[in-house]
Structure 1
Amino acid sequence: MSHKYFAYGAIGAALAVALGAFGAHGLKDTLSEDMLEVYETGVRYHMYHALALMLVALLADRIGDTKLVKVGARLLIVGIVLFSGSLYALALSDISVLGAITPLGGVAFLVGWGYIAAAALRARKNA
């Protein structure tokens, strides 16, 4: 499990850097200040969760229940796609209905972290 999800996190982090650079250099004269802030929020959460995915992958064996950890890791990926992706799309298109997708990504993040916490607590209980 750990190699695959570490790679997903590393790829996600590289994409966050590329998208952040694109936003900072390619969009600063194109987007309004508000939409640039929306875009930057997407990049920030994208990077946080890509790095977190790498950390979870490194610690997966120590966390415990690999099924719970895998579900949690997958939900972090879903969260990146839905949360950050919807913010990128909203900022670039200014179609406000796309903002309705963002909370679904936030829920995926929260539930993913819940699964990872449950795995860690279960491992502690079984130790």
Structure 2
Amino acid sequence: MKNKNLTLTSILGALTIVLGAFGAHTLKEKLGVNEFQNFETGVRYQMYHVIVLLIINMYSNFSAKTKNGVSALFFLGILFFSGSLYAISAGGVSPKNIWFITPIGGLFFILGWIKLSISFLKMK
């Protein structure tokens, strides 16, 4: 599973750069200030978690179970949190239709960080 986690993380990293460039060069002129800030928040949170995923899966002494658990939670967080912000900002999806998805993604991020902190506490 390690290679799958790293492969998906690398793809998400590349996608983060593509989305950031797309936002800066295409969407900035088309979106309002609030929509553009929401889009940037999605890109920023995605990159933060991609970096942590790389560190966890490449360099840590965590068990495979911990790496996979944290990775799954962060992947879901990126999908729900950042994905919903992209959809709302750039995709023309009404926040009224998917308002509940962004906080679910945030919850996945929080659960991933909690799982990570518990794993640190259990380390010898």
- Name the TM-score, length of structure 1 as normaliser: 0.88
**Aligned match of 2:43:** 43
Query: In the alignment, is residue 116 of structure 1 matched against residue 116 of structure 2?
Result: yes
Q: Is the 8 Å Cα contact of residues 87 and 99 (structure 1) preserved in structure 2?
A: no
Deviations 1:7-58 (A, max 9, x none): 2211111000000111111111111111001000000001111111111101
CA distance in 2, matches of 1:4, 1:114: 23
Unaligned runs of 5+ in 2: none
1:94 Cα offset (Å):
5.1
CA distance in 1, matches of 2:93, 2:4: 35
Give the 3-state SS of the residue equivalent to 2:29 in structure 1. Answer: coil
CA distance in 2, matches of 1:90, 1:99: 9
Paired positions, count: 122
Letter of the 2:84 partner, please give it: S
Unaligned runs of 5+ in 1: none
Give the 3-state SS of the residue equivalent to 2:99 in structure 1. Answer: helix
Give the 3-state SS of the residue equivalent to 1:31 in structure 2. Answer: coil
**Aligned match of 2:13:** 13
1:72 Cα offset (Å):
1.1
Q: Is the 8 Å Cα contact of residues 73 and 111 (structure 2) preserved in structure 1?
A: yes
1:59 Cα offset (Å):
2.6
**Aligned match of 1:28:** 28
CA distance in 1, matches of 2:115, 2:39: 28
**Aligned match of 1:95:** 94
**Aligned match of 2:70:** 72
CA distance in 1, matches of 2:113, 2:59: 14
Select the structure that is richer in helix: 1
**Aligned match of 1:85:** 83
Q: What is the Cα-based RMSD across aligned positions, in Å?
A: 1.5
CA distance in 2, matches of 1:99, 1:14: 27
Identity of aligned residues (%): 37
Give the 3-state SS of the residue equivalent to 1:30 in structure 2. Answer: coil
Q: Is the 8 Å Cα contact of residues 90 and 99 (structure 1) preserved in structure 2?
A: no
